Amino acid sequence: MNAMVERTDDAVTALPATTPRHMLQIAIEQGKDMAYLRELMDLEERWRAMQAKRAYIAAFAMFKKNMPDVVKDMLNKQYGSDYSSLANLVNTTNRVLGEYGLNARWSPDQTDGIKVTCILEHADGHREEVSMKGPPDTSGQKNPLQQIKSTMTYLEGATFQAITGVVARSACIDDDGNGAGKKQPEVTAPEGYDNWKADMRALSDEGSAKLEEAWKKSSDAFRRHVIKTDELWWGETKRKAAKVQA
């Protein structure tokens, strides 16, 4: 007579999770042939890669949720625009990447031009890559080594930004609109700024070349104040100068 066993949810015992490694151990104990073991080893490798990719995706999602606030720290005197230095971008971002087991590094290649690959890797082993390529930077009075270094610096910043998704913001932008309606602190113009501004406005009637030359010779204090508080005026002034016939 067969005994009947009543099963309830509380009485069900969960079976241990079976992984490819566990299956491989069992196969070895059972004396399976080498071909069968190789198939299990390949299966384990694919399974580990899949788990590593899942860990990478989860870590990167958390990083995107808590992305660092990178503020542009440099001023381009020639074009009157601010930008982030490579050190500022990378150092600020790396502090947050490390919290989620992520690490970014570069791999340069000069076999065919100048190529830089940025590799973002998770502690579990999965990684993603972004590559960019460019010619030596021959602008200015750079020697051959400086030309290569300048291009590599640019490519390092571009690939790092592409793979992390981090974009530096202007120092004059407070919080991406989250502080709308809040009174912003008043910024005091440097002494002599109004007179300088009037002179630049007058120079715009003489064309872009004159305006750009005066901009390069202007004080850093004036240029920084423009970037922080007067970009609209500066943009209009440059557009007016560009319309002047040579």
DSSP 198-224: HHHHHHGGG-HHHHHHHHHHS-HHHHH
pLDDT at 5: 43
pLDDT digits (tens, 9 = 90+) for 159-204: 999 999 998 887 654 444 444 444 445 568 888 888 888 888 888 8
pLDDT at 229: 80
Tally the C-alpha atoms within 13 A of residue 161's C-alpha that lie toward its C-beta. 18
**Band of the pLDDT at 24, cuts 50, 70, 90?**
low
**Band of the pLDDT at 213, cuts 50, 70, 90?**
confident
CATH number of 74-164: 3.30.160
**Band of the pLDDT at 17, cuts 50, 70, 90?**
low
pLDDT digits (tens, 9 = 90+) for 86-107: 999 999 999 999 999 999 999 9
pLDDT at 114: 95
**Band of the pLDDT at 73, cuts 50, 70, 90?**
confident
Report CA-CA distances (Å) from 11 to 3, 6, 7.
17, 9, 6
Residues in the chain: 246
Distance from C-alpha of 28 to C-alpha of 72, rounded to nearest angstrom:
59
Determine the average pLDDT of the residues in 10-34. 59
Q: Is the pLDDT higher at 224 or at 172?
A: 224
pLDDT at 3: 46
Neighbouring residues of 227: CB distance < 8 A, sequence distance ≥ 6: 75, 80, 81, 82, 170, 171, 172
Residue 13 has pLDDT above 50, yes or no: no
Neighbouring residues of 111: CB distance < 8 A, sequence distance ≥ 6: none
Determine the average pLDDT of the residues in 116-137. 94
* 108: β partners: 116
Q: What is the mean pLDDT of the chain?
A: 80
* 130: β partners: 118
pLDDT at 36: 63
pLDDT digits (tens, 9 = 90+) for 26-51: 656 666 667 766 775 776 677 678 88
**Short-list 67, 68, 64, 75, CA closest to 171:** 75
